């Protein structure tokens, strides 16, 4: 059974510092990995999707890498801002279009 882990569960950084969020998964037979952002009381916003054949994906200040063989993905957020404060979730997609989620990392960016 696929298990997805995100460590740390919470992270606090000063504004301007780069954020590094980790995601690990136990079964490397995935088709893609998706990173989401969730604000308190809100739904999930898709940030980046990396196909299994890709090594990284970039969107603005966000960069996500994928090492399928070692079961790891990292989300980098450059020059963090208070508006980046949220919970970040990673999810892997395997057979049947089903997503398996990690528990999330709650990020606080202090002004």
Partner 1 sequence: DAEITQSPRHKITETGRQVTLACHQTWNHNNMFWYRQDLGHGLRLIHYSYGVQDTNKGEVSDGYSVSRSNTEDLPLTLESAASSQTSVYFCASSRTGTYNEQFFGPGTRLTVL
Helical (H) or strand (E) element with 81: none
DSSP 61: T
Inter-CA distances, 10 with 36, 50, 71, Å: 15, 24, 21
- Of the pair 23, 80, the CB lying nearest partner 1 is at 23
Residue 64 structure tokens: 């996500």
CB of 59 closer than 8 Å to CB of 47? yes
* Footprint of partner 1 on 24-63 (CB under 8 A): 31-32, 34, 36, 42-46, 49, 51
* Rounded least distance, CB 13 to partner 1, Å: 23
- Of the pair 18, 46, the CB lying nearest partner 1 is at 46
Residues that bind partner 1 (CB under 8 A): 31-32, 34, 36, 42-46, 49, 51, 89, 91, 93, 96-99, 101-104
């Amino acid at each position: 059974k696929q298990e997805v882990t995100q460590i740390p569960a919470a992270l606090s950084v000063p504004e301007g510092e780069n954020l590094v969020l980790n995601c690990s998964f136990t079964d490397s037979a995935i088709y893609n990995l998706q990173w989401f952002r969730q604000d308190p009381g809100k739904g999930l916003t898709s940030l980046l999707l990396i196909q299994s054949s890709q090594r990284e994906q970039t969107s603005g200040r966000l960069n996500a890498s994928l090492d399928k063989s070692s079961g790891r993905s990292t989300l980098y957020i450059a020059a963090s801002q208070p508006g980046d404060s949220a919970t970040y979730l990673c999810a892997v997609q395997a057979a049947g279009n089903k997503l398996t989620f990690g528990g999330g990392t709650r990020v606080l960016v202090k002004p």
